[in-house]
Structure 1
Amino acid sequence: MRKWLVNLRKEKNMTQAQVAAAAFIDRGYYAQIETMKRHPSPEVALKISKVLGFNPANFYSEHFSEPFNITLEDSPVTVAQCDLDLRYTWIFNPPPDFAPFSAIGKRDDELGYHPGSMEFMELKRQVIQTKAPLRKTIPYSLSDGLHTYDIFGKPLFDSKGNIVGAAMICTDLTQILKDNDRDRGEANEKVEN
């Protein structure tokens, strides 16, 4: 079952029949896509993604085994895309607080309202407004405490050159910063002795 697809459809208050009609496909075929009995063709994936507002790559990320995905899985790196309304359309390797695909269709303030989420949304806004890359370090509250992220955002354009959103790569620096602080403390102790 593609729970993320079912949840996204329900959040949009749509039935399977409504999604199928809007995507110009058979309702039965759409139902089989939700239950993973069938996989959509790239053309159908694109139609469904336009109706529900997500990146069609989500259909295929379930089956990735490329070196890119193997390398990033369980790493402190999250890669994501958002639309012009700052809603996630694709996310890979989200922080532990976010279940896979739970962020699709949502903004950061809907996932957790705190200063870090607001600052992250502002970074995305600036990337979209200026149509230029931007990098910033942002503290972000998660269930296990405050994390520090190095975030690089760049604009996303369609084939006609129109801006359609932003892409971000977020690296959790928290453990590195803790290790550096510990190492500095040990170095200072040695100097004092």
Structure 2
Amino acid sequence: MRKWLLQLRQQKNMSQEKVASAAFIDRSYYSQIEWGKRVPSQEVAKRIAKVLNFDTARFYSNYFNEPFNEVLSSSPVSIAHCDLELRYTWAFNPPSDYDVPNLLLGKRDDELIDHAGSKEFMALKYKIIKTDKPQRKLIHYDMSDGIHMYDIFGKPIYSMEGKLTGASFVCTDLTAIKQQLLQNRSE
């Protein structure tokens, strides 16, 4: 079962029938996709993704990226995409405060938590989209277990037709490295 798809549909308060109708497919076909019994064609995946506002890569990432998923899920690295409205369309290995299935999808940072770090991150995303150029910045985030320092690198993303559709970014939590450096200095 594709729990992420079910949860996303429910989060949008949509029935299978509504999603199927909006994606121009049969409801039973959509049900098989949601249950993981069928893999949608690229065209159908695009239509479903458009209805529920997520990146189509989500359908196929488990098949192609298993070795990378294994190593990255144990690392301090988070990867995500956002659309032109700065809403998350895909996320992998989010920080523990946000590691709830599909918590990020469809939301902006200021809708998740309103603090200086989220505002800086939104400003960085906006700058990437506005300038259509890669950007990098260190941002401090107030998390449940203290302040974390993230090295964030982002760049614009485009549709297959070359149209700007949003930004993708890699966020590396440098907090443990920073603590280790401080400890080494004091020894």
TM-score, normalising length: structure 2: 0.92
Q: Which residue of 2 aligns with 1:54?
A: 54
Instruction: Using the TM superposition, give the Cα deviation of residue 64 of structure 1 relative to its aligned residue in structure 2, in angstroms.
Output: 4.6
Q: Is the 8 A contact 1:132 1:155 kept in 2?
A: yes
Instruction: Using the TM superposition, give the Cα deviation of residue 8 of structure 1 relative to its aligned residue in structure 2, in angstroms.
Output: 2.1
Q: Which residue of 1 aligns with 2:148?
A: 147
Larger radius of gyration: 1
- Could you tell me how far apart the structure 1 residues matched to 2:101 and 2:76 are? 15
Q: Is the 8 A contact 1:4 1:102 kept in 2?
A: no
- Could you tell me how far apart the structure 1 residues matched to 2:171 and 2:15 are? 34
Q: Structure 1: 5+ residue runs without aligned partners?
A: 187-193
Q: Which residue of 1 aligns with 2:15?
A: 15
SS of 1:75's equivalent in the other structure is: coil
Instruction: Using the TM superposition, give the Cα deviation of residue 63 of structure 1 relative to its aligned residue in structure 2, in angstroms.
Output: 4.0
Instruction: Using the TM superposition, give the Cα deviation of residue 159 of structure 1 relative to its aligned residue in structure 2, in angstroms.
Output: 2.6
SS of 1:117's equivalent in the other structure is: helix
**Quick one: percent identity of the two aligned structures?**
58
Q: Is the 8 A contact 1:8 1:105 kept in 2?
A: no
Q: How does 1:77-156 map to 2 (within 5 A)?
A: 77-97=77-97, 98-156=99-157
Q: Structure 2: 5+ residue runs without aligned partners?
A: none
Query: How big is the alpha-carbon RMSD for the aligned residues of Structure 1 and Structure 2?
Result: 1.6
- Could you tell me how far apart the structure 1 residues matched to 2:171 and 2:50 are? 26
Deviations, residues 117-173 of structure 1 (Å, cap 9, x unaligned): 111111101100110111000011222111100000101122332210000000000
- Could you tell me how far apart the structure 2 residues matched to 1:124 and 1:65 are? 25
Q: Which residue of 1 aligns with 2:71?
A: 71
TM-score, normalising length: structure 1: 0.89
Deviations, residues 61-105 of structure 1 (Å, cap 9, x unaligned): 344554332331210001111000111111111112222432111
- Could you tell me how far apart the structure 2 residues matched to 1:53 and 1:163 are? 16
